[in-house]
């Protein structure tokens, strides 16, 4: 809720045990940094920063081929009961 939520509101939610969320989508890096610093100066509790990342990075064919080799392997054992 960009423009509605303030660092004070985010900090108040965090202080009560909730996860306050600081919306910064579309703001400049300087303004974003200032809002985060202000929120951190009010509370030492964790809070979220809601940031939009709209650009999808371009990958070269070489990058794409290199990623094809990535694999996830899972293994587990089951204990046998007697």
15-61 pLDDT tens trace: 999 999 999 888 888 899 999 999 999 999 999 888 776 666 676 77
pTM: 0.63
Whether residue 75 is predicted with pLDDT greater than 60 in this model: the reply is: no
44: left (phi over 0), alpha (psi -120 to 50) or beta: alpha
What residue spans define the domains of the chain?
Answer: 1-53
At residue 67 the predicted structure's pLDDT band, cuts being 50, 70 and 90, is: low
């Amino acid at each position: 809720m960009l423009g509605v939520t303030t660092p004070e509101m985010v900090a108040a939610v965090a202080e009560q045990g909730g996860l306050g969320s600081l919306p910064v989508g579309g703001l400049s890096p300087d303004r974003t940094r200032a809002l985060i610093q202000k929120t951190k100066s009010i509370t030492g509790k964790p809070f979220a920063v809601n940031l939009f990342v709209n650009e999808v990075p371009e990958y070269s064919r070489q990058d794409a081929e290199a990623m094809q080799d990535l694999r996830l392997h899972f293994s587990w054992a089951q204990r046998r009961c007697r």
